[in-house]
Amino acid sequence: MDREERERAMSPETALAELAAGNRRFTEGHPTFGLQSAHRVELASAQYPFAVVLGCSDSRVPVETLFDRPAGDLFVIRVAGNFIDDYGLATLEYGVAVLGARLVFVLGHSSCGALTAAVEFLERGERAPGMIQHLVDRLTPVARATRRDEGWVEAAVDENVRATVAEILDTSAIVADAVTQKKLKVVGGTYDLATGRVTTIEG
């Protein structure tokens, strides 16, 4: 398969349905995940991932595993708090413009430590050591915007996904053009650590 064959074979809607189906296999306990050696040899010459996933670094959110996809399918960016910066956006644009991905999926998750740190910084004002405070500062606005007594962290997780989707669409002309041409969808969702289920967040 080359890039054009991949694009013909998969619409943005199909790409999203593939991720949903993979997450269903994962949560139902019968994943097909795995990299066969024939597949590995095929991939050695080129990659045609169908989706870019922007996820959190959290060790409990292994992107390929929870979507039940083998190597070669997902172009993955991971950073604590799954936000976008210039390098992340450049990586994402590479996945879309050069590799031909049909979907960008921003994946937050329950009990995210990065957003918990932002919430706790607003509550207590204690600074994190070293560069970690930069992460906290980056996520503080979304935490401030979702302040509430109950469920603050989960609200911040959802809002961070929404804000990141909007930021990608606002910042990247490559992404915006591909969306206009119906070659690409940008979607957000959250992963529940306990159930393993990914729930799509509507804009």
Shortest Cβ 114–Zn ion spacing (Å):
5
Letter string b/e over residues 152-175, b meaning 16 or more CB atoms within 10 A of that residue's CB: bbbbbbbbbbbbbbeebeeebebb
Q: Is 154 in the site for Zn ion (CB under 5 A)?
A: no
Site string for Zn ion, 12-51 (x = CB under 5 A): ----------------------------------------
Q: Is 112 in the site for Zn ion (CB under 5 A)?
A: yes
Q: Which is nearer to Zn ion, 52 or 56 (CB)?
A: 56
Residue 2: Cβ within 10 Å count: 9
Q: Which is nearer to Zn ion, 63 or 112 (CB)?
A: 112
Shortest Cβ 56–Zn ion spacing (Å):
3
**Which residue in the set 10, 56, 106, 143 belongs to the binding site for Zn ion (CB under 5 A)?**
56
**The residue to which tokens 């799509």 are assigned:** 200
Q: Are strands 198-201 and 185-191 parallel, antiparallel or unpaired?
A: antiparallel
Shortest Cβ 161–Zn ion spacing (Å):
11
Instruction: Specify whether the CB–CB gap between 75 and 52 falls below 8 A.
Output: yes
**Which residue in the set 58, 68, 154, 158 belongs to the binding site for Zn ion (CB under 5 A)?**
58
Instruction: Specify whether the CB–CB gap between 92 and 52 falls below 8 A.
Output: yes
> What residue type is 3 in one-letter code?
R
> Where along the sequence are the contacts to Zn ion (CB under 5 A)?
56, 58, 112, 114
